[in-house]
Amino acid sequence: MNSVGTVTPQRAAFDTPILLQGGVSLPAFELVYETYGELNAERSNAVLVCHALSGSHHVAGIYADQPDNIGWWDNLVGPGKPLDTNRFFVVGVNNLGGCYGSTGPMSLNPVTGKRYGADFPVVTVEDWVAAQARLADRLGIASWAAVVGGSVGGMQALEWTLQYPERVRHALVIASTPKLTTQNIAFNEVARQAILTDPDFHGGHFYEHGVVPARGLRLARMLGHITYLSGNQMAEKFGRELRHGKLSYGYSTDFQVESYLRYQGDKFTTYFDANTYLITTKALDYFDPARSYGGDLQAALARAKASFFVASFTTDWRFAPERSRELVYALLHNGRDVCYAEVDCDAGHDSFLLDDAQYHADVAAYLDRIET
């Protein structure tokens, strides 16, 4: 229903070096992206959708040869949907350092002729946005009608308003935060240590050994899943239900939730790259626009010119509503136009991916009023 239908990923190659925040310069890079809808004659209806940790450029629709491979935000993006492709030209892009086709750890390093692996530099939210700006140039988009993202995607939407204040008219920052809490960093660190200490990681050069650090990546994903769901939702979904009707008095599977987490962890290792996981968690940890303003978020956001839609979810304990409110207050104190929705949804952090009626109505109402 109302799908953008069959889509085809495209590829943009950039041969001007990009100097990354960490001081490393990449001589060239490629970005894989998808577009939905039509760019209007004024080139004023373009919307960038930024992905979260395990997302990709495949935001909506399906592939001709993979009819079950539905874009990760297909419930939000399409004709007649909240982000309406009848009105907007929507762009999804796999970030630099990703593992879905854009230049990243799995790409060939032109210097060595081997895959980058651990030699791929740590990239930041700022770097992602700088790379996305190159893509905007290539597509002839001087200014986005909106940049939209959830979780670390929301960080990118916020960063766009700071790095390119003239190039984004609206930012939709959903289930996000202006910086990670200590506890957020702590969880990321456990996930990283799981990967880094997996003997199959081989210092990040596991491709050459024909293995993947599946144990570590699996643990990282299992842990991640706990933080994406609310405690109540987990309890409702799995309770203390036993997988085989009785206790095993061993370490196979007792509770349904164990089975669920193992399944999610195992599945993840078949398609996601461990180096990209490491890079992305670092990008999350590092993001903190207030850092160079002595922690003063209001001062850090003073250069933003966009209007904002900020949404949080009541049961999101990963990026709690308090974090969104901090952002909202700092924006309001700068005189920005801000719509803030605190959505009562039981699904924790993952709520931003779900088809919650109130949430989608809020997004639709905001986007509908954008002039293109």
Annotated catalytic residue 107? no
Question: Which one of 2, 10, 21, 75 is in contact with its own copies (CB under 8 A)?
Answer: 21
The tokens describing 310, both together, are 């900020």
Subset of residues 278 to 297 that bind its own copies, contact rule: CB under 8 A: 278, 282, 285-286, 288, 291
Phi, psi dihedrals of residue 202, rounded to the nearest 5°: 50, 50
Residue 247 C-beta: closest distance to its own copies, Å: 6
- Determine which helix (DSSP H) or strand (DSSP E) holds 339, and give its type and residue range: strand 338-343
Q: Which stretch binds its own copies (CB under 8 A): 15-23, 88-96, 303-311, 355-363?
A: 15-23
Q: Which stretch binds its own copies (CB under 8 A): 58-66, 164-172, 245-253, 355-363?
A: 245-253
Beta carbons within 8 Å of 303's beta carbon, 6+ residues apart = 162, 165
Assess 23 for contact with its own copies (CB under 8 A).
yes
Annotated catalytic residue 324? no
# of chain residues touching its own copies (CB under 8 A)? 54
Question: Which one of 265, 307, 313, 340 is in contact with its own copies (CB under 8 A)?
Answer: 265
Q: Which stretch binds its own copies (CB under 8 A): 8-16, 145-153, 180-188, 362-370?
A: 180-188
Question: Which one of 66, 199, 244, 263 is in contact with its own copies (CB under 8 A)?
Answer: 199
CA gap 155, 319 in Å, rounded: 11
The tokens describing 203, both together, are 């210092």
8 Å CB contact between 120 and 99 = no
Phi, psi dihedrals of residue 155, rounded to the nearest 5°: -60, -40
Question: Which one of 249, 270, 335, 357 is in contact with its own copies (CB under 8 A)?
Answer: 249
Assess 254 for contact with its own copies (CB under 8 A).
yes
Tracing tokens 């803030």 back to the chain, one arrives at: 340
Residue 195 C-beta: closest distance to its own copies, Å: 9
136 or 162: CB nearest its own copies = 162
**Buried/exposed code over 96-134 (b: 16+ C-beta within 10 A; e: otherwise):** bbbbbbbbbbbbebeeeeebbbbebbbbbbbbbbbbbbb
> Using CB atoms within 10 A of its CB, is residue 347 exposed (0-12), middle (13-18) or buried (19+)?
buried
Instruction: Please state the separation of Cα 60 from the chain's center in Å.
Output: 14
Annotated catalytic residue 307? no
- What residues line the site for its own copies (CB under 8 A)? 21-24, 121-122, 179-183, 185-187, 189-190, 192-194, 196-199, 215, 218-219, 222-223, 225-226, 231, 234-235, 237-240, 247, 249-251, 254-255, 257-258, 261-262, 265, 278, 282, 285-286, 288, 291
